[in-house]
Amino acid sequence: MTRYIFITGGVVSSLGKGLAAAALGALLQARGYKVRLRKLDPYLNVDPGTMSPTQHGEVFVTDDGAETDLDLGHYERFTGVSARKSDNVTSGRIYSSVLARERHGDYLGATVQVIPHVTDAIKEFIRGDVTDEDFVLCEIGGTVGDIESLPFLEAIRQFGNEIGTERALFIHVTLLPYIPAAGELKTKPTQHSVKELLSVGIQPAMLLCRSDRPIPENERRKIALFCNMKQERVIAALDVDTIYQVPVSYHEQGFDDQVLAYFGLEAKDEPDLSMWKEIVQRVRAPEGEVTIGVVGKYTSLIDSYKSLGESLVHGGIANNVRVNLKWMDSSIFDSEDAVVHLEGVDGILVPGGFGERGTEGKIRAAQFAREHKVPYFGICFGMQMAVIEAARNLAGLRGASSTEFGSTDIPVVGLMTEWTRGNEREVRNVESDLGGTMRLGAYDAVLTEDSKVRDIYRSPVISERHRHRYEVNINYRNQLEQAGMLFSGLSPDGILPEIVELPDHPWFIGVQFHPELKSKPFDPHPLFTSFIRAAIEQSRLV
């Protein structure tokens, strides 16, 4: 029997609903249960694929090619359960499906309304593609009180009534602000937020109260009284120094015990959280440290590179070192003398991106790493810029560029027009819609024998997740390889370059895919582990 847990948020945004869902999923797994995590987003975009990362944060891509909310990255990193297209839905996608049905005549002439048609579509999503999971955790995006989230709240209210309280649990995440002048935590915002949720017919059975300090028993008792719940179900969500402490902290507060008690399930033996404690210990007390310069386009909002930052931390965990990240906007490197900002870093990483702004800066960063023998990791766009730099400065193709930036006589990087996915041929052109027209999801790559990446992966064939429209032009392979750049990973048909490296460099690798999307704290991605190891060696040379 599958049980459903709905997690809502109130008072303010960014309280950590996604981390709460991920941590609870990890705790239930440690108790021996099978979990699935989902995100329901209230915005009208069909998916976040065309949204600016500086507004919404990174786009997380699943194996089956869905562009999803970054919280799904937290879900995967904490539970190891691969997310699917059926684990993230938006208002835009719900309304699109409802309108398509209306146009098709599926409603038999009925007046199409939010209730029941939109709410029914949301409930279909919640219960769809569920097999033998013990728990399905559904996070509702936005903040209670926002007009956008009302259809979702109504849908989960109906859903809870339909399956009964023995199978549905509502958890509300709120804020307990500390007012220094008063010298106390204030419970009124939480009381009002629960009242707002009650106004749409939902009585939360449990509260997660974000706070920067322990909640006194008197305040906990007051919250329980005014919010109509048991005192032990008012859980303190205390600030921690690393997100990987969250499962341990929640368990110490009795979160997982209370969830099981609500459903009438006996708490088995204490969950084994030794893995999380070991990760936290390595984060808090590393044996050394390295500094990685990240030269990106969206550094004004670090959530634009959420998975990337976490993957570098994972590489540090694997090598038992602290990874200090030096975030740098690539546009500062448009002038040649600005490369002094890179002096002293132990490694340089150039991540993905779109558009021409800041590209010359990324090319200069790749050139600095190549010439000064600093470990370089180029991801997606970062690989393409490294190839353009090599074409210009090693292969003598001075006008080498990408068609993404306009017409060029030497298109070392160009727009993909067709590629193979399984047994099907995908076809696109320059006029295609931006949404969903990229090479998305997991694709295989064949690694060249005696290459560095073959040694890192210890496998001749790999599968990694992609998200891009432009591709390195295979027609320039011979010229680039004669100049010293090895094409060490190719698509199975040999047409699409997946990985390049410089064999005479300590560590210089560019990948067309996004390895950060598959890295986990308890299973760091091999490329990040190797990159940080190379950075450690570099730090010893300085």
Is the backbone peptide bond immediately before 116 cis, with ω within 30 degrees of 0? yes
Q: What is the mean pLDDT of residues 510-538?
A: 97
8 pLDDT above the threshold of 90: yes
DSSP annotation of 89 reads E
Contact assessment for residue 124 and residue 104, using Cβ atoms and an 8 Å cutoff: no
Q: Check pLDDT > 50 for residue 530.
A: yes
- Give the closest residue to 260 by CA, choosing from 291, 233, 234, 237: 233
Can you tell me whether residue 175 is helix, strand or coil? strand
pTM for the model: 0.92
Q: Which residues contact 222 (CB under 8 A, 6 or more apart)?
A: 187
> 28-45: string of b/e by CB count within 10 Å (b at 16+)?
bbbbebebbbbbbbbbeb
Residues 219 and 324 in one domain: no
Query: What letter would DSSP give residue 350?
Result: E
Query: Within 10 A of 432 (CB to CB), how many other CB atoms are there?
Result: 14
Residue with tokens 């937290």: 74
Q: Are residues 303 and 185 in the same domain?
A: no
**What pLDDT is stored for residue 385 in this prediction?**
94
Structural domain ending residue among the three candidates 260, 278, 296: 278
Instruction: Give me the sheet containing 497-501, strands edge to edge.
Output: 321-329, 288-296, 347-350, 376-379, 508-511, 497-501, 486-490, 439-447, 461-468
In-domain check, residue 459: no
278, 302, 337: which is the final residue of a domain?
A: 278
3-state secondary structure 423-471: CEEEECCCCCCCCCCCEEEEEEEEECCCCHHHHHHCCCEEEEEEEECEE
Q: Which residues pair with 140 in a beta bridge?
A: 40
Residue-averaged pLDDT of the chain: 92
pLDDT tens, position by position, 17-70: 999 999 999 999 999 999 999 999 999 999 888 888 877 789 999 999 999 999
376 in a structural domain: yes
Q: Are 412 and 397 in contact (CB under 8 A)?
A: yes
In tens, the pLDDT along 317-329 reads 999 999 999 999 8
The CA distance from 462 to 444, in Å, is 6
- Helix H segments across 7-149? 17-30, 53-56, 71-79, 91-104, 119-127
- Among candidate residues 142, 181, 174, 128, the one with its CA nearest the CA of residue 2: 128
pLDDT value of residue 419: 47
* Alpha carbons 351 and 362: distance in angstroms, whole number: 9
Rounded CA separation 312/347 (Å): 11
Regarding whether 310 and 271 lie in a shared domain, the answer is no
The HSE-up count of residue 86 (CA atoms within 13 Å, CB side) is 12
| Residue range 379-437, pLDDT digits in tens | 999 999 999 999 999 999 998 989 888 888 899 999 866 545 555 555 555 455 555 56
**Residues 251 and 377 placed together within one structural domain of the fold:** no
Tell me what pLDDT residue 332 has.
Answer: 83
Q: Are 101 and 79 in contact (CB under 8 A)?
A: no
Of the candidates 236, 247, 238, the residue with the CA atom closest to the CA atom of residue 276: 247
pLDDT digit string, tens, across residues 105-133: 998 889 999 999 999 999 999 999 999 99
Helix 119-127 vs helix 150-163: crossing angle, to nearest 10: 60
Rg value, the chain, Cα = 25
- Evaluate whether 84 touches 66 at the Cβ level (below 8 Å): yes
Residue 443 lies in a domain: no
On whether the CB atoms of residues 536 and 346 are closer than 8 A, the answer is: yes
Domain-embedded: residue 456: no
Same-domain check for residues 253 and 205: yes
Residue 357, pLDDT score: 79
Alpha-carbon span 169 to 21, nearest angstrom: 13
Q: Are residues 109 and 256 in the same domain?
A: yes
Same domain, 91 and 162: yes
Which of 298 and 242 is assigned the larger pLDDT? 242
- Residue 422: per-residue pLDDT: 53
Q: Domain count of the chain?
A: 2
Percent of the chain with pLDDT over 70: 94
Residue 224: count other Cβ atoms within 10 Å of its Cβ.
16
Residue 429 within any structural domain of the chain? no
pLDDT in tens, 246-305: 999 999 999 999 999 999 998 777 899 999 999 999 999 999 999 999 998 887 778 889
Does some domain include residue 315?
A: yes
- 336 in the same domain as 257: no
What's the 3-state SS for 278-301? HHHHHHHCCCEEEEEEEEECCCCC
CA–CA dist 341, 296 (Å, integer): 14
Question: What is the domain-level CATH number for residue 394?
Answer: 3.40.50.880
Paired residues of 136 in beta bridges: 4, 36
pLDDT digits (tens, 9 = 90+) for 157-183: 999 999 999 999 999 999 999 999 888
pLDDT digits (tens, 9 = 90+) for 357-379: 768 889 999 999 999 999 999 99
Catalytic residues: 380, 514, 516
pLDDT at 377: 98
The reply to whether 79 and 170 lie within a common domain is yes
80 and 48 belong to one structural domain: yes
pLDDT at 517 over 50: yes
pLDDT tens digits for range 432-490: 555 556 889 999 999 999 999 999 999 999 999 999 989 999 999 999 999 999 999 99
32: in domain? yes
Residues 13, 114 within the same domain = yes
CA 221 to mean position of chain CA atoms: 37
Establish how many alpha carbons lie within 13 A of residue 181's alpha carbon, considering only the half-sphere containing its beta carbon.
0
Asked if the structure places residue 423 within a domain, the reply is: no
Query: What distance in Å separates the CA atoms of residue 84 and residue 475, rounded to the nearest whole number?
Result: 35
Domain at 24, CATH number: 3.40.50.300
Number of Cβ within 10 Å of residue 46's Cβ equals 19
Q: In what order do the strands lie in the sheet with 88-90?
A: 88-90, 35-41, 135-140, 3-9, 168-175, 206-211, 234-238
- Based on the domain organization, do 232 and 323 belong to the same domain? no
Q: Which residue range forms the structural domain that includes residue 380?
A: 286-413+471-541
Please, what is the Cα angle at 457 between 311 and 30, to 5 degrees?
Answer: 50
Domain boundary residue, one of 262, 278, 294: 278
